[in-house]
Structure 1
Amino acid sequence: MKQHILILVLAMIFFDICVAQPTFNRRFDFGGYPHSIFTSLAVTDTAYYATTVITDTANNNRAATMFVKLNLQGEVIHSKVFSLPNKSAEAWQAYLIETAEGSFVTVGYEIDVDGYDMFMIEFNAWGDTIRYRTFKNPYFPESHFFVPQSIVQTEDGGFLVVSHISLPGPHNPQLLAIKTDRYFNVDWQREYGNNWLDNNNCTITDSDGGYLLGGIRANINLVPYNGTWRMSLLKIDSEGNEIWEYLTPFPELWYKACDIIQTEDGGLVVATGNGYRQSWPSGVDSITMYFLKHVIIKLNSNLEEEWTTPFRSLTHSPENKYNRMVRSTDGLGYVAAGEADIPDTLSLSRYMKFGWLTKVSEQGDSLWARYLEIVQSESDSLLYGFQHALFDIKPCPDGGYLLCGYSVSLVAPPYQRAWILKVDEYGCLVPGCQGIIDDTGTPATASRQPVMLLYPNPASDFLHVYIRDKSPGETITSDKLEIYDTQGRKLLIHSAPVCDATYSINVQNFPPGIYTLNWVRGNQTKTTKQWVKN
Structure 2
Amino acid sequence: MRHFISILFILSLCTPPGVIAQTTYFNSSYNPNNTFAIATSILEYDDDFYISGGTWDSIYGNRAIFIGKVNPDGNLEYFKTYEASPFQYWSGYTNSLISTEFGHLILAGHRGRFSDGSREATYYNFNINGDTNFTRYYPNHTSSDYISFNQCRRTSDNGFVFVGNMTVEPTNLDVLIIKTNYFGQEEWRANYSHIGVHSIDQGYNILQTEDGGYLVGLYYYSTGMPVLGDPYLMKVDEQGGFEWEINLGGPYSDFLLTVCNSRDGNYMCAASIADTAMGDLTFTKVNISKISPNGEILWTRSVGGQHLWNKVHGIYQDHNDGYVLCGFRHDSLNSIEWMSSCGWICKIDENGDSIWWREYEHFDDPEFHLNSLYDIHLTSDGGYVAVGQTATIYDPQQVWVLKVDSFGCDTPGCNQVGLADLNKSKDATKIEIFPNPATKYVNIRYSLLITRYSILIYDMFGRLMEEIIVPSGQEEKRLDVSSYPAGLYIAVVKNNSSVFGRMKFVVTKQ
- Give the drift of 1:313: 4.2
One-letter code aligned to 2:298: E
Query: Which of 126, 130, 137 is the matching residue for 2:129?
Result: 126
Equivalent residue, structure 1, for 2:354: 366
- 332-341 or 32-41: bigger deviation: 32-41
Equivalent residue, structure 1, for 2:109: 108
CA deviation vs aligned residue, 1:347-395 (integer Å, no higher than 9, x gap): 796532001111111112111111111236xxx21xx311111111100
Alignment partner of 1:261 is 2:260: yes
Number of residue pairs aligned between Structure 1 and Structure 2: 413
Equivalent residue, structure 2, for 1:172: 172
Contact (CA 8 Å) 2:92, 2:151: kept in 1 or not? no
Alignment partner of 1:441 is 2:460: yes
Contact (CA 8 Å) 2:276, 2:282: kept in 1 or not? yes
Equivalent residue, structure 2, for 1:339: 328
Equivalent residue, structure 2, for 1:398: 381
CA deviation vs aligned residue, 1:190-227 (integer Å, no higher than 9, x gap): 111122321111001111111101112223x1x322x4
- Change in 2 beyond 3 A, CA 1:448/1:61: farther
One-letter code aligned to 1:335: V
- RMSD of aligned residue pairs (Cα, Å): 3.0
Give the Cα–Cα distance (whole angstroms) in 2 for the partners of residues 34 and 252 of structure 1: 36
One-letter code aligned to 1:224: M
- Please show how residues 58-97 of structure 1 align to structure 2 within 5 Å: 58=59, 60-93=60-93, 94-97=95-98
Equivalent residue, structure 2, for 1:152: 153
Equivalent residue, structure 2, for 1:42: 43
- Change in 2 beyond 3 A, CA 1:57/1:231: same
Equivalent residue, structure 2, for 1:296: 288
Contact (CA 8 Å) 1:400, 1:425: kept in 2 or not? yes
- Give the drift of 1:268: 1.2
Equivalent residue, structure 2, for 1:320: 310
Give the Cα–Cα distance (whole angstroms) in 2 for the partners of residues 403 and 365 of structure 1: 22
- Give the drift of 1:290: 4.1
Q: Secondary structure at the match of 1:178?
A: strand
Contact (CA 8 Å) 1:313, 1:340: kept in 2 or not? no
Give the Cα–Cα distance (whole angstroms) in 2 for the partners of residues 38 and 175 of structure 1: 23
Give the Cα–Cα distance (whole angstroms) in 1 for the partners of residues 23 and 357 of structure 2: 19
CA deviation vs aligned residue, 1:442-491 (integer Å, no higher than 9, x gap): 21457799xxxxxxxxxxxxxxxxxx99899xxxxxxxxxxxxxxxxxxx
Q: Secondary structure at the match of 2:158?
A: coil
Q: Secondary structure at the match of 2:168?
A: coil
Equivalent residue, structure 2, for 1:430: 411
One-letter code aligned to 2:80: K
- Change in 2 beyond 3 A, CA 1:108/1:448: farther
Contact (CA 8 Å) 2:109, 2:148: kept in 1 or not? yes
Unpaired runs of 5+ residues, structure 1, are 1-18, 281-287, 450-467, 473-498, 500-524, 528-534
Q: Secondary structure at the match of 2:352?
A: coil
Query: Which of 333, 340, 358 is the matching residue for 1:352?
Result: 340
TM-score, normalised via structure 2 length: 0.74
Unpaired runs of 5+ residues, structure 2, are 1-20, 419-456, 469-491, 501-510
Identity of aligned residues (%): 25
Contact (CA 8 Å) 1:435, 1:448: kept in 2 or not? no
Give the Cα–Cα distance (whole angstroms) in 2 for the partners of residues 289 and 67 of structure 1: 35
Contact (CA 8 Å) 2:262, 2:317: kept in 1 or not? no
Give the Cα–Cα distance (whole angstroms) in 1 for the partners of residues 352 and 385 of structure 2: 23
Contact (CA 8 Å) 2:362, 2:400: kept in 1 or not? no
- Change in 2 beyond 3 A, CA 1:249/1:444: closer
Bigger Rg over Cα? 2
One-letter code aligned to 1:187: E
Contact (CA 8 Å) 2:244, 2:295: kept in 1 or not? no
CA deviation vs aligned residue, 1:216-248 (integer Å, no higher than 9, x gap): 2223x1x322x4322211111111111221223
CA deviation vs aligned residue, 1:101-159 (integer Å, no higher than 9, x gap): 11111111112223222111100001111011222222233xx1112122111222221
Alignment partner of 1:420 is 2:422: no
- Change in 2 beyond 3 A, CA 1:470/1:136: farther
